[in-house]
Amino acid sequence: MSCIYYTDIADVLRAAGVEVGENSINAGWQSRARSSGGFPAAPLCCFWHHTASQTSPENDLSFMINGSDDEPVGNMLLDRNGVAWIIAAGASNCAGKGGPSSFSRGTIPVDGGNTRGWQIECANNGVGEPWPQVQIDALFRASNALNARFGNQPSDIISHALGAGDGYTDRKIDPATASGVQGPWMPRSTNSSQTWSLEDMRNECLARAGQAPPPPVDPTPPPPDNWSQWVMDNQPVIVQGSQGIDVKRMQHLLAATGFMNESNVANYDGVCGSGTVGALNRFKASAGGAQDGTCDSWTWGALMHTIDGIPTLAKGSSGPDVKRMQHLLAANGYMNEANTANYDGQWGSGTDGAKSRFDNEHGLAPSPPTDCGAKSWESLLNGWVW
């Protein structure tokens, strides 16, 4: 069994100005861990979760320590008053399946989050409950202090949800919701569940640690005479083994063009495995490309059918380009990807509502009225916020 137990964490948190709670429920946290024992090495990051509950700290602790089949759930609970309740000094069960995820000192392998990350569960229902400023401030103080204890950078944090393609797993939405965060710091939301922007979380950790976050990268409007080629040249190269939101977008475009079963949500797992590579090669063969299992700029252009440029769409439009837009809205979390009726190629009221929400969260004002032009396609393909 692994043997690292962080029995000094209460002192670490108190030194950072975080109140630490102790009672009969969380007593014994110093020797508590999942069945594998302590950490095999210093955690590479702090995971940020929400409990998806709306109850007292005592009830949360009782479930996380004694009531769940997966106990202990998390390494600590941060309640709504900003009090940290330590649950386990060793590894815990909370991250589940996901990854890989890279940090300053290394990479958490696929499904390795439970033993390679410190799990912070924040008390919040995740569906609109306010996040009090005292809790938010304590979260940043605790996270920065913990990462310093582990030898990490302040930005070595990760959201449980993929959000904009940069979290741990697409099975979860936490932390959410962004609009409920109180105080001067307001994270952007990255999907229809309002998962917090991981970029914003990391930048604020750096700022509160006295380090300057990296300068924002603003999208540069492309030259109007070669817009479609510019967009394609700025897409990532995807090969077998690639993972993340860009793979999911590619999978949706393969479905939009008829080369993956659009009713099978397993095809949208964000993992470029053998099934995705097979579909990709069949598509490339049909388009006159090499069956090399690579999605490069030529392939992106073929998937988007940019040979004649991409038209500007609006409510009432119909056809293959609307279908591509609908699939990309689903890939980005704005339409239910399991509902094939969303991919009918008709810009009706349902599509208009999804596009309006996407526009409002990506700086594509005014919305309404909605349309889909150059900036919209760039945001749909790259996640850019204007």
Question: DSSP string covering 196-243, please?
Answer: BPHHHHHHHHHHHTT-PPPPP-PPPPPPGGGHHHHHHHTSPPB-TT-B
The token duo for 244 is 């993340």
Of the pLDDT bands very low, low, confident and very high (cuts 50, 70, 90), residue 384 is: confident
**Cα separation, 236 vs 281, whole angstroms:** 17
The count of other CB atoms within 10 Å of the CB of residue 104 is 13
Taking residue 15's Cβ as centre, other Cβ atoms within 10 Å add up to: 11
Q: What is the pLDDT of residues 163-190, one digit of tens each?
A: 766 787 778 889 999 889 999 999 988 8
Task: Show the CA angle centred on residue 159, arms to residues 276 and 81, nearest 5°.
Answer: 155
Residue 13: per-residue pLDDT: 97
Residue whose C-alpha is closest to residue 120's, from 74, 159, 157, 153 = 74
| pLDDT band at residue 225 using 50, 70 and 90 as cut-offs | low
Q: What are phi and psi of 201, to 5 degrees?
A: -60, -45
The per-residue b/e assignment along 53-76, b for 16 or more CB within 10 angstroms, e otherwise, is beeebeebbeebbeeeeebbbbbb
Distance separating the N- and C-terminal Cα atoms of the chain: 49
Q: Provide the pLDDT confidence category of residue 268 given band limits of 50, 70 and 90.
A: very high
**Residue 330: its pLDDT value, please?**
92
Summarised one tens digit per residue, pLDDT across range 188-208 is: 888 888 899 999 999 999 999
Number of C-beta neighbours around residue 26 at 10 A: 23
Joined together, the tokens standing for residue 123 give 């008390």
Q: How far apart are CA 311 and CA 315, in angstroms?
A: 13
CATH number corresponding to 9-208: 3.40.80.10
The more confident residue out of 356 and 283 is 283
Q: Report the candidate in 308, 66, 360 with the shortest Cα–Cα distance to residue 188.
A: 360
Tokens of 108: 């958490």
Specify the pLDDT at position 368. Answer: 60
Per-residue model confidence as pLDDT tens digits over 286-322: 999 999 999 998 999 899 887 667 788 999 999 999 9
The answer to whether 34 touches 90, Cβ cutoff 8 Å, is yes
The residue with greater pLDDT, 326 or 231, is 326
Helix (H, G, I), strand (E, B) or coil at 270: coil
Nearest to 159 by CA among 200, 196, 190: 196
Give the residue from 310, 295, 326, 315 showing the smallest Cα distance to 378.
310
Q: Is domain 224-382 classified as CATH 1.10.101.10?
A: yes
Residue 46 vs residues 89, 113, 147, 170: alpha-carbon distances, Å: 14, 10, 7, 18
So where are the chain's domains?
9-208, 224-382
Q: Which of 276, 332, 271 shows the shortest CA–CA distance to 110?
A: 271
